[in-house]
C-alpha cells in the first residue's frame, strides 16, 4: 500500500496533522486518477486527527522493476546497443594508498586481449569503445577530503557495447591495491554504480549498484563480468571474489581464465602465467614472469609501438645502449648499427611512420650470448623526426618470449606530461644481478626508468643515462606472487529481487 500524510503549514508553530489517505497499489493497472477518502489515522499517536474529513484526488502509476542494489551472483541482461558506465568510488586513509581499476577483455578461447583492455597505463582500447577515466590517487588534485582525514576517489570505465570489437567475448572488471604493504583494510569504504548512459537527452539511468565487502588482508577483487551472448546482448554478473597477493591484473591471468570455464569449458589454466604490468620506477626479476620458473627464454624481444598523431607520421627509433659496471659504453645498437659486436642483440630495422600493425620496431636479445663485460642494456626511444614525445599517441613497449609470443612485461606511455618539450626517453634497463642484490650475474632484471631527455639519436642520451644510473641504484625487485592451484569459478546465478516502484508524478490535489 501507499500512504499519504496530510498536514497544514504553520509559520510560527509545528505543522498540524490533518489525516491519512491509504491506496492499495495495483501494479497491473495503467495510470489512474481517483478520489480517496481522508481517514483519521492511528489513534493514540502523533498520526491521528479526530476531525479529519474530505477526499484527496491522486493520480499514480506503479510498476515492478529489479532492485538497484545487487550482491554476489546477481545477474541481469543488458541490451547490446547500450553504452554502459561503471563508476567506482572509494575512500582511503590519508594520501598513501593507491588503488587501480581495470577492464580486462578475453576472446572466445579465453585468451587475454591486451589491446582491448584498459587500465591506469592504457586508457583506451583499440577502437575507443572502452575508455578509462585515468589513474586517481588520494593526492590527486581536486579529490574531496572528509573531516576524518579520508579522501574520496572516483574512477570511471565506459563501455560502448555496440562498438566493442567482435573478438571480445567477455570483460572482467578488477580493483587492485597498488601500494606495497597496503591492503583493502586501508580502504574506508567503496561503492560501485553501473549506469546506462546511452541517451544524452534523458541522462544516466542506473542499472545497479553494490558495495564490495572487503574482508581480510586482500589486495585485489574481481568486481563483475560482462559477457556477450549469441544474440549480441550482454550478461552482467557480480563476482566480488578477492585475492591476497596480486597488485595488478597481470598477476591474475590464471584466475581470469578459471572464471572463464563456463565460456571455454576446456580452457587451459597455467598457474604460472602472468604479465608484469609495470610502472615508472618498478623492477622485476625476469625469470619470475616466465612460464618455467628460474628460466629465461633463449630469445626475448623488446617491442615498441606507437600510433599516428593527427595524421602526422612520426619517426621514432628504439635503441639499446650496452654499459659495463662502471657505466662505460660498450656498444650501441640502433637503426644505424643493427647488430651488437657479440651478435647477442639484433635490431629489427627502422620503421619511420608508426603505421605498422602490432610492434613498429623490435630488438631481439640472446642474453646467454651477451658479452660478460656488459652489466646492463638500456633501452631508449628517440624522435628522429624531432617531434616532442608527448605529441605521440599511445606509445607502448613490451618484452615477450620470441618462441611463444607470450608477454613477460608491458609498459605504456599515454598522455605523459613529463615528455613535453623532450625528444628522447630513457625507457628501461636490463641489468645483471650482483652480490649486493643477493644474486649472481646470470640473474637478469628489468627496470622501468621512464626519464625524458633531449636528443634525436640514442648517443645523445648517454650523459643523461650515466648521471641517472649513478644517482639512482635499482629498486628492490617486485616480488611476483607464488603460483597456486586455481579453482575459482563464476558464482551461481542468484535471481535479482524485485520491488514495486512508484515513479514521481506531478500530483493534482482536490478537496
DSSP annotation of 451 reads: E
Is the torsion defined by CA of 250, 256, 258, 260 positive or negative?
A: negative
- Pairing type for strands 75-78 and 63-66 reads unpaired
> What distance in Å separates the CA atoms of residue 193 and residue 137, rounded to the nearest whole number?
19
CA–CA distance, 377 with 320 (Å, rounded to integer):
6
For 8, counting Cβ atoms within 10 Å of its Cβ (0-12 exposed, 13-18 middle, 19+ buried), the class is: exposed
What is the number of other CB atoms lying within 10 angstroms of the CB of residue 354? 22
Q: Are 319 and 332 in contact (CB under 8 A)?
A: yes
What are the φ/ψ torsions at residue 131 (nearest 5 degrees)?
-125, 140
- Within 10 angstroms of residue 341's Cβ, the number of other Cβ atoms is 12
What cell was used for 177? 591495491
Q: Where are the alpha helices (DSSP H) in 293-367?
A: none
β-strands 220-228, 234-243: how paired? antiparallel
Distance of CA 133 to the CA centre of its chain: 9
Residues in the chain: 511
Q: Within 105-221, where are the H helices?
A: none
Regarding beta strands 300-307 and 205-210, do their DSSP bridges make them parallel or antiparallel, or are they unpaired?
unpaired
Element (H, E) at 389: none
pLDDT for position 141 = 37
- Grid coordinates representing 504? 514521481
Neighbours of 17 (CB within 10 A): 18
Q: What pLDDT score was predicted for residue 145?
A: 46
Phi, psi of 418 (to 5 degrees): -65, -20
Domains, the chain, with CATH or none: 2-64 (no CATH), 75-274 (2.60.60.30), 283-471 (2.60.60.30)
In order, the DSSP letters of 206-243 are: EEEEE-----SS--EEEEEEEEE-TTS-EEEEEEEEEE
d(CA 426, CA 379) in angstroms, rounded, equals 6
Provide the pLDDT for residue 2. Answer: 84
Instruction: Encode the chain (511 residues) as per-residue pLDDT tens digits.
Output: 888 999 998 888 888 899 999 988 776 677 778 899 999 988 888 889 999 999 999 887 776 665 577 788 889 899 999 999 999 887 766 556 788 899 999 999 999 999 899 998 889 998 999 999 987 654 443 344 444 455 566 899 999 999 999 999 999 999 998 888 888 887 777 788 999 999 888 788 888 888 887 767 888 999 999 999 999 999 999 998 888 888 899 999 999 999 999 999 999 998 888 899 998 888 998 988 887 656 788 899 999 877 666 666 677 888 999 999 999 999 999 999 999 999 999 999 865 444 445 678 899 999 889 999 999 999 998 888 787 777 776 677 899 999 888 889 999 876 667 777 888 889 999 999 877 666 677 789 999 998 999 998 999 999 999 999 999 988 888 777 776 667 788 888 776 666 556 666 555 555 4
Q: Is the pTM of this model over 0.95?
A: no
Give burial (CB, 10 Å; 0-12/13-18/19+) of 52. Answer: middle
C-alpha cell at 424: 628522447
Amino acid at each position: 500500500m501507499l500512504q499519504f500524510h496530510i498536514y497544514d503549514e504553520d509559520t510560527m508553530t509545528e505543522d498540524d496533522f490533518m489525516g491519512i489517505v491509504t491506496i492499495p497499489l495495483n501494479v497491473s493497472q495503467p495510470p489512474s486518477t481517483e478520489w480517496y477518502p481522508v481517514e483519521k489515522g492511528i489513534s493514540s499517536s502523533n498520526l491521528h486527527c479526530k476531525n479529519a474529513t474530505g477526499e484527496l484526488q491522486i493520480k499514480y502509476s506503479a510498476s515492478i522493476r529489479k532492485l538497484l542494489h545487487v550482491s554476489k551472483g546477481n545477474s541481469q541482461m543488458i541490451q547490446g546497443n547500450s553504452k554502459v558506465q561503471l563508476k567506482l568510488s572509494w575512500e582511503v586513509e590519508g594520501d598513501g594508498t593507491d588503488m587501480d581499476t581495470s577492464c580486462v577483455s578475453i576472446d572466445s578461447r579465453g585468451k587475454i586481449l591486451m589491446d582491448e583492455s584498459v587500465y591506469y597505463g592504457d586508457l583506451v582500447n583499440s577502437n575507443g569503445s572502452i575508455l578509462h577515466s585515468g589513474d586517481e590517487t588520494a593526492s590527486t588534485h581536486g579529490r574531496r577530503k572528509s573531516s576524518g582525514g579520508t579522501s574520496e576517489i572516483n574512477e570511471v570505465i565506459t563501455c560502448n557495447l555496440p562498438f566493442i570489437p567482435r573478438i571480445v567475448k567477455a570483460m572482467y572488471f578488477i580493483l587492485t591495491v597498488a601500494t606495497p604493504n597496503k591492503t583493502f583494510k586501508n580502504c574506508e569504504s567503496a561503492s560501485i554504480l553501473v549506469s546506462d548512459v546511452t541517451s544524452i537527452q534523458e541522462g544516466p539511468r542506473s542499472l545497479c549498484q553494490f558495495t564490495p565487502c572487503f574482508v581480510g588482508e586482500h589486495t585485489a577483487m574481481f568486481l563483475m563480468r560482462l559477457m556477450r551472448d549469441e544474440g549480441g546482448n550482454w550478461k552482467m554478473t557480480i563476482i566480488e571474489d578477492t585475492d591476497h597477493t596480486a597488485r595488478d591484473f597481470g598477476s591474475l591471468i590464471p584466475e581470469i581464465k578459471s572464471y572463464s570455464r563456463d565460456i571455454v569449458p576446456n580452457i587451459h589454466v597455467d598457474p604460472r602465467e602472468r604479465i608484469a604490468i609495470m610502472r615508472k620506477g618498478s623492477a622485476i626479476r625476469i625469470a619470475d614472469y616466465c612460464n618455467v620458473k628460474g628460466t629465461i627464454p633463449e630469445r626475448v624481444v623488446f617491442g615498441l609501438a606507437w600510433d599516428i598523431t593527427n595524421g602526422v607520421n612520426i619517426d621514432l627509433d628504439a635503441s639499446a645502449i650496452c654499459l659495463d659496471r662502471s657505466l662505460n659504453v660498450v656498444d650501441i645498437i640502433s637503426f644505424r648499427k643493427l647488430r651488437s659486436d657479440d651478435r647477442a642483440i639484433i635490431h629489427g630495422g627502422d620503421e619511420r611512420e608508426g603505421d605498422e600493425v602490432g610492434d613498429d620496431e623490435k630488438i631481439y636479445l640472446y642474453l646467454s650470448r651477451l658479452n660478460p663485460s656488459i652489466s646492463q642494456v638500456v633501452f631508449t626511444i628517440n624522435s628522429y623526426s624531432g617531434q616532442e614525445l608527448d605529441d605521440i599517441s599511445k606509445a607502448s613497449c613490451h618484452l615477450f618470449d620470441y618462441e611463444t609470443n607470450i608477454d613477460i612485461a608491458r609498459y605504456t606511455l599515454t598522455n605523459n606530461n613529463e615528455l613535453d618539450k623532450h625528444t628522447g626517453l630513457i625507457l628501461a634497463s636490463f641489468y645483471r644481478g650482483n652480490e649486493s642484490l643477493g644474486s649472481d650475474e646470470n640473474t637478469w632484471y628489468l627496470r622501468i626508468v621512464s626519464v625524458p631527455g633531449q636528443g634525436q639519436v640514442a648517443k645523445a642520451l648517454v650523459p643523461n643515462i650515466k648521471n641517472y644510473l649513478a644517482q639512482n641504484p635499482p629498486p628492490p625487485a617486485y616480488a611476483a606472487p607464488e603460483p597456486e592451484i586455481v579453482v575459482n569459478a563464476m558464482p551461481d546465478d542468484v535471481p535479482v529481487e524485485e520491488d514495486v516502484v512508484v515513479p514521481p508524478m506531478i500530483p493534482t490535489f482536490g478537496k
